[in-house]
Amino acid sequence: MEVRAMKKSLLTTLRDKHTSIHQFRQATEKISFLLAGEAGDYIKEKIISVETPLEEGEGKLLNEDIVIIPILRAGLAMLPAFLRFYPDASVGFFGMRRDEETKLPHLYYQNIPPLSPDHNVIIIDPMIATGGSGALALEKVLSKNVPDSNIVYVGIIGAPEGIEKIKQTAPNINLVVAQVDERLNQDAFIIPGIGDFGDRYFGTE
């Protein structure tokens, strides 16, 4: 199966309200691994010389200074797959919760390793709805002098409004999502979407 078809099939499993928690977690792991690979397209490379058994040639390695930042809680669901793909990466955390009335993100926890302009930062959060949580996370990372071209923002599903907000906050950012959905509903949930990702993944519905 092609990667694109595989992502569509995994998305269908995630969307289906009859999917069990076990299947939901497995589909999250698989789609996150595919998205981790796509994020690699935007990680800086360094050129090295490599000795093959026959001669010396040119090789390329991914930047070693990768920091993965999941936005809690739901971003945690994508972390194991990203660490399988980038086993040497450091990990930082933003804990955020959307206020149910205002839909604005409340930052309740932050633990980010020291960042420099040479770092590649991968922010992971499966749902980009209004984009408020993502924009707040980006503002925090940009304030540490990481250029937006060194940031990859990875979601599973985005609403057009949220994607727009992310791009306005960081115009040169690299954005990876498996699917852009139709719209937000009056409760700022993505339609057709997945529902409450954190609740479905962690079993807290």
Binding partner of 201, given ligand URA, ligand PRP, none, CB within 5-8 angstroms per partner class? none
Q: Which residue of the set 13, 97, 98, 148 is catalytic?
A: 98
Task: Report how far apart the first and last C-alpha atoms of the chain are (Å, whole number).
Answer: 33
Site size with ligand URA, rule: CB under 6 A:
9
Q: State the catalytic residue, choosing from 99, 102, 118, 183.
A: 102
Q: Choose, by CB under 6 A, the member of 120, 130, 150, 174 that binds ligand PRP.
A: 130
Residue 193 touches which of ligand URA, ligand PRP, none (CB < 5 to 8 A by kind)?
A: ligand URA
Query: Closest Cα to residue 5, out of 31, 25, 26, 29?
Result: 31
CB-count exposure of residue 17 (10 Å: 0-12, 13-18, 19+): exposed
102 carries an active-site annotation: yes
Is 127 one of the binding residues for ligand URA (CB under 6 A)? Answer: yes
CB 155 within 8 A of CB 186: no
Least Å from the CB of residue 146 to ligand PRP = 20
How far apart (Å, rounded) are the C-alpha atoms in residues 130 and 100?
A: 13
- Give 31 or 65: the residue with its C-beta nearer to ligand PRP: 31
Question: How many whole angstroms separate alpha carbon 85 and alpha carbon 79?
Answer: 10
Contact between 162 and ligand URA per CB under 6 A:
no
Answer for which of 132, 138, 177, 200 binds ligand PRP (CB under 6 A) is: 132
> What track of x and - describes contact with ligand PRP for positions 98 through 127 (by CB under 6 A)?
x----x-x-------------------x-x
Active-site annotation holds for 98? yes
**Do the Cβ atoms of 137 and 108 come closer than 8 Å?**
no
Is residue 119 within 8 A of residue 86, CB to CB? The reply is no
Active site residue 196: yes
Residue 63 near residue 44 (C-beta atoms within 8 A): yes
Give me the residues that bind ligand PRP (CB under 6 A), please: 71, 73-74, 96-98, 103, 105, 125, 127-134, 162, 188, 197-198
